[in-house]
C-alpha cells in the first residue's frame, strides 16, 4: 500500500540501497544529482519510512522511553520537559508510558512494551519497581535510570535529590524562623526516600536540642488525603507550631484541613512544602517550599543513559524558596 524505498528506487531509476543512503543523508555515497532525483521521487510518493524495518536491521532506535507511575503527585511534567528538551537536543524522540500506581502487573506491561522494541534507553520516573520486575529490566541490556527515587538495597542507577538534605534543610528553615515544635506530615516509612528525609529531620532537630515527639510525625503516602489525615491527627490545638508537608499536595491537604479546624496559616500554624511545583503558587497563602529541580533531573537522566558510563547515582541540588506560609516566631 504505502510507498516503500523500492518504489522510490524504481521511480528515480536507482537501486534501493542508494535510496536508503540518500534518505539517511550519507553524503559520501551519492552524487548531488541522484540525491535530488531521489528526494523528488520520495516527496512525490509521500514516502513514510517504515521504522519497524529499519529497527529490525539496525537493532537500534532513537526513542527513549519514560515510564511514569501515575500517582497523583504531579512533579512528572517538569521532569518530562527536561527529558524532552535534552532528548531533542540529541535528536532522540521520547515516548511516555504510564505504569499504574504500584501495580506490578501494570508495571510489567509497560516494561515489556518498551523492552520488546529496541528503545535506546529507559527512564523510570518515581516508580518503585516491584522486585519481580527488576530482572526484566536488567536482562534487557537496555540502559536505564531511575529518576526522583532512591534505593538503599539494590545497586541501580538513579538520579534524585539528596533526601537527607531535603529533610534536614526543611527542618533548619523552620528552626531558623524560630520554630521548635515541628511536625512532618504524610511521609512514608517504607522506602528510602521517606526514611532519609526523616533522618535529616531528626538530625536537624537534635542539633537544635529538641527531641521530636512521636506524634509529630504523621506517616502517609505523600497524597492530598494523607495531608488531610495528618492534620486531622494533629488536631485543632496542635502540639506543633510548624509542619513540613511530605509533598506539595500533602501540604495543601494539611493547609485545607487546618482551615477546617479553624486554624489560620501562617498565623496559627506554619507550613513548608517539599517539592516546590506550581501548586505552591496556586493556593493561598502560597506555600514556602524546599524545591527540587525536576527539570534538571530530567536532563541529567537523559545524559546518564546516553553516556552509558556508570555514574551510578547522582544528586540534583535543592533550594528552599520562601513564600507566604511560614510565620517568623519572636523568641519566647
Partner DNA sequence: ACAATTTACACAAACGTTTGCTTTAGCGCT
Partner DNA sequence: AGCGCTAAAGCAAACGTTTGTGTAAATTGT
Interface residues with DNA (CB under 7 A) are 2, 4-6, 9, 13-21, 23-24, 29-31, 33-34, 47, 49-50, 53-54, 56-59
Taking CB under 8 A as the binding criterion, the range among 17-25, 71-79, 146-154, 181-189 that sits at the site for a second copy is: 71-79
Nearer to a second copy, 190 or 278 (CB): 278
**CA dist., res. 24 & res. 91, Å (int):** 14
Q: What is the 3-state secondary structure (H, E, C) of 53-85?
A: HHHHHHCCCCEEEEEECCCCCCCHHHHHHHHHH
Write down the least CB distance from residue 39 to DNA, Å.
Answer: 12
Task: Assess 262 for contact with a second copy (CB under 8 A).
Answer: no
Among residues 263, 240, 256, 252, which one has the least CA distance to residue 329? 240
Show contacts with a second copy in window 142-201 (CB under 8 A): none
Write down the least CB distance from residue 92 to DNA, Å.
Answer: 16
How far is the first Cα of the chain from the last one, in angstroms, to the nearest whole number? 81
Among DNA, a second copy, none, partner that 140 touches (CB below 5 to 8 angstroms by kind): a second copy
Q: Which residues contact 258 (CB under 8 A, 6 or more apart)?
A: 231, 265, 268, 269, 271
Residue the block writes with cell 528553615: 173
For 26, half-sphere exposure in the C-beta direction (CA atoms, 13 angstrom radius) is 7
Among residues 263, 269, 305, which one has the least CA distance to residue 156? 305
Show contacts with a second copy in window 202-231 (CB under 8 A): 224
Task: Assess 43 for contact with a second copy (CB under 8 A).
Answer: no
Binding interface with a second copy (CB under 8 A): 1-2, 46, 48-53, 55-56, 63, 70, 72, 74, 77, 80-81, 84, 88, 93-98, 109-110, 112-113, 115-118, 139-141, 224, 252, 256, 259, 278-279, 282-284
Amino acid at each position: 500500500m504505502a510507498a516503500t524505498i523500492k518504489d522510490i528506487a524504481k521511480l528515480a531509476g536507482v537501486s534501493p540501497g542508494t535510496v536508503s543512503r540518500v534518505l539517511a543523508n550519507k553524503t559520501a555515497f551519492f552524487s548531488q544529482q541522484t540525491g535530488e532525483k531521489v528526494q523528488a521521487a520520495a516527496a512525490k510518493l509521500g514516502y513514510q519510512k517504515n521504522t519497524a524495518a529499519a529497527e529490525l536491521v539496525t537493532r537500534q532506535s532513537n526513542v527513549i522511553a519514560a515510564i511514569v507511575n501515575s500517582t497523583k503527585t504531579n512533579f512528572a511534567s517538569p521532569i518530562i520537559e527536561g527529558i524532552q528538551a535534552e532528548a531533542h537536543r540529541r535528536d532522540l524522540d521520547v515516548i511516555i508510558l504510564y505504569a499504574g500506581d504500584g501495580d506490578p502487573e501494570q508495571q510489567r506491561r509497560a516494561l515489556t512494551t518498551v523492552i520488546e522494541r529496541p528503545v535506546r534507553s529507559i527512564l523510570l520516573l518515581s516508580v518503585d519497581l516491584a522486585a519481580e520486575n527488576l530482572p526484566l529490566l536488567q536482562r534487557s541490556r537496555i540502559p536505564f535510570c531511575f529518576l526522583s527515587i532512591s534505593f538503599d538495597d539494590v545497586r541501580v542507577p538513579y538520579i534524585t535529590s539528596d533526601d537527607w538534605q531535603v529533610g534536614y534543610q526543611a527542618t533548619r528553615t523552620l528552626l531558623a524562623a524560630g520554630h521548635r515544635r515541628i511536625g512532618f506530615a504524610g511521609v512514608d516509612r517504607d522506602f528510602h526516600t521517606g526514611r532519609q528525609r526523616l533522618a535529616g529531620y531528626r538530625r536537624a532537630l537534635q542539633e537544635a536540642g529538641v527531641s521530636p515527639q512521636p506524634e509529630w510525625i504523621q506517616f502517609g503516602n505523600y497524597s492530598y488525603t494523607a495531608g488531610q489525615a495528618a492534620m486531622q491527627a494533629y488536631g485543632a490545638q496542635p502540639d506543633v507550631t510548624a509542619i513540613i508537608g511530605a509533598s506539595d499536595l500533602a501540604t495543601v491537604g494539611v493547609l485545607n484541613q487546618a482551615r477546617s479546624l479553624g486554624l489560620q496559616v501562617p498565623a496559627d500554624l506554619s507550613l513548608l512544602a517539599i517539592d516546590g511545583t506550581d501548586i505552591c503558587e496556586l493556593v493561598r497563602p502560597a506555600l514556602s517550599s524546599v524545591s527540587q529541580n525536576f527539570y534538571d533531573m530530567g536532563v541529567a537522566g537523559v545524559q546518564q543513559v546516553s553516556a552509558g558510563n556508570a555514574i551510578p547515582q547522582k544528586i540534583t541540588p535543592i533550594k528552599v524558596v520562601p513564600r507566604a506560609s511560614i510565620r517568623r516566631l519572636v523568641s519566647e
